[in-house]
């Protein structure tokens, strides 16, 4: 079997409507659909890709089989969104305009990129990762 890439990522959040507004208005993701206070689904990849980010309050399937006790099964996570170099300034400013502290830029010389970091309302560390133009030879 060969992997086709990430399909979806589900974040357990305290309040879905609050988290959904953050991911739509601050992060800039496109809402796919929201089902009341339990789920919100966003497109999280380039147009036409089938990568999604879900926000959920409550239990997940097979949670009872986790090796960790209730209340410790899910933790804070870190993940990055790729942002085109020409869009990164506006994206970072949108986060700052929402009153969210942004850290960076951090130069990632080993991958010729820059990153900016910030936290969502549930304490997950998000990153805007932006590849830099290749230097001419």
Give tens-digit pLDDT for 79-128: 999 999 999 999 999 999 999 999 999 999 999 999 999 999 999 999 99
Give yes or no: residues 70 and 91 share one domain. no
Residue where a domain stops, chosen among 75, 98, 126: 75
Which residues have CB under 8 Å from 40's CB, separation 6+? 16, 17, 19, 20, 23, 31, 33, 34, 54, 55
pTM of the predicted model as reported, rounded to 2 decimal places = 0.86
pLDDT of residue 42: 95
**Most confident of the ranges 41-50, 52-61, 112-121:** 112-121
pLDDT of residue 136: 47
What is the count of structural domains for the chain?
A: 2
Give yes or no: residues 12 and 70 share one domain. yes
Give yes or no: residues 33 and 95 share one domain. no
Kindly tell me if the per-residue pLDDT of 38 is higher than 50: yes
Give yes or no: residues 5 and 37 share one domain. yes
Give yes or no: residues 81 and 137 share one domain. yes
- CB-side exposure of 48: number of CA atoms within 13 Å? 0
Range of the domain at 128: 76-137
Give yes or no: residues 82 and 99 share one domain. yes
């Amino acid at each position: 079997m060969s992997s086709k890439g990430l399909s979806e990522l589900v974040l357990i959040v305290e309040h879905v409507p609050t988290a959904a507004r953050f991911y739509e208005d601050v992060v800039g993701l496109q809402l796919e659909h929201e089902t009341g206070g339990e789920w919100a689904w966003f497109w999280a990849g380039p147009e036409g890709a089938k990568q999604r980010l879900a926000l959920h309050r409550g239990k997940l399937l097979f949670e009872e089989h986790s090796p960790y006790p209730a209340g410790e099964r899910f933790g804070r996570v870190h993940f990055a969104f790729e942002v085109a170099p020409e869009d990164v300034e506006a994206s970072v400013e949108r986060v700052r305009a929402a009153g969210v502290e942004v850290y960076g830029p951090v130069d990632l010389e080993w991958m010729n990129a820059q990153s900016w970091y910030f936290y969502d309302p549930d304490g997950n560390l998000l990153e805007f990762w932006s590849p830099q133009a290749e230097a001419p030879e």
